[in-house]
Amino acid sequence: MREFSSEGKCREYLANLRWPGGIICPKCNCRHTCLLSNRRYQCAECRCQTSVTAGAVLHRTHMPLTQWFLAFYFVSQDKCGISAVALMSMFGMTYKTTWHMLMRIRSTMNQRDKIHQLSGTIEFDDTYFGGPTVGKKRSRETEKAKVFAAVSLDEQGNPRNIKMQVTQNIKRASVKKFAQTAFVQASTIHSDGYRNYIPAMEGYTHEQKLYDPDSGLLHWLHISAELKG
């Protein structure tokens, strides 16, 4: 609330993310721009105008940036994903407005997730994902989706990023395809010794061990899989 308390602070934050070395004209790469009264930047060379939000998730928004930033915060902090109804009562806006905000945020997260690859040390396994089907027992795993799950760790061994993908099966080709899309080539993969993992991880540094729940192997992966419900 303190860091992003005004439109100016939010705009400055976005400008630093977008142009860390100062504003650059998107058309001619000129570095000489002036700020107009409508908060757009105009290039001194080609007169092209741009803004901190142009062409990105907040393109042409009429909503205050302070509210967008709050929405980003709530979406990222709520374990189950905040609803449009909850945002509506917090912001005093219509359902339609908060629903559109959430759609924009989710679609951006999805785009980012599609191109982002995990790197460094990665824990990998397959698991089941999803809650109970209405009117049926929770324990029947066949009603849940089979997923590949991976967590990348930082140098202290703490979790950084998670990637999950629904899969029809855990055959060698499917594992390999997931690894190629989800992991940077130079990564080190930790997994249990399931036979299909070994050939699928060719090209990566692969450390596979017999799974023992007390060993600490796949610690963060199992914690994140438990958060799924």
Stretch that binds Zn ion, among 39-47, 64-72, 157-165, 186-194 (CB under 5 A): 39-47
Task: Tell me the site size for Zn ion, rule CB under 5 A.
Answer: 8
Q: How far apart are CA 224 and CA 58, in angstroms?
A: 30
Q: Which of 23, 25, 164, 225 binds Zn ion (CB under 5 A)?
A: 25
Q: Which of 27, 31, 39, 140 binds Zn ion (CB under 5 A)?
A: 27
Q: If binding is defined by CB under 5 A, does position 48 make contact with Zn ion?
A: yes
Nearer to Zn ion, 28 or 223 (CB): 28
Q: If binding is defined by CB under 5 A, does position 36 make contact with Zn ion?
A: no
Q: Which of 6, 16, 28, 203 binds Zn ion (CB under 5 A)?
A: 28
> Contact 126/187 with Cβ under 8 angstroms?
no
> Contact 19/25 with Cβ under 8 angstroms?
no
> Contact 90/98 with Cβ under 8 angstroms?
no
Q: Which of 10, 23, 43, 217 binds Zn ion (CB under 5 A)?
A: 43
Q: How far apart are CA 85 and CA 40, in angstroms?
A: 33
Q: How far apart are CA 145 and CA 128, in angstroms?
A: 6
Q: C-alpha distances in angstroms, 155 versus 7, 121, 159?
A: 36, 8, 10
Q: If binding is defined by CB under 5 A, does position 45 make contact with Zn ion?
A: yes
Nearer to Zn ion, 42 or 224 (CB): 42
Per CB under 5 A, residues contacting Zn ion are 25, 27-28, 30, 43, 45-46, 48
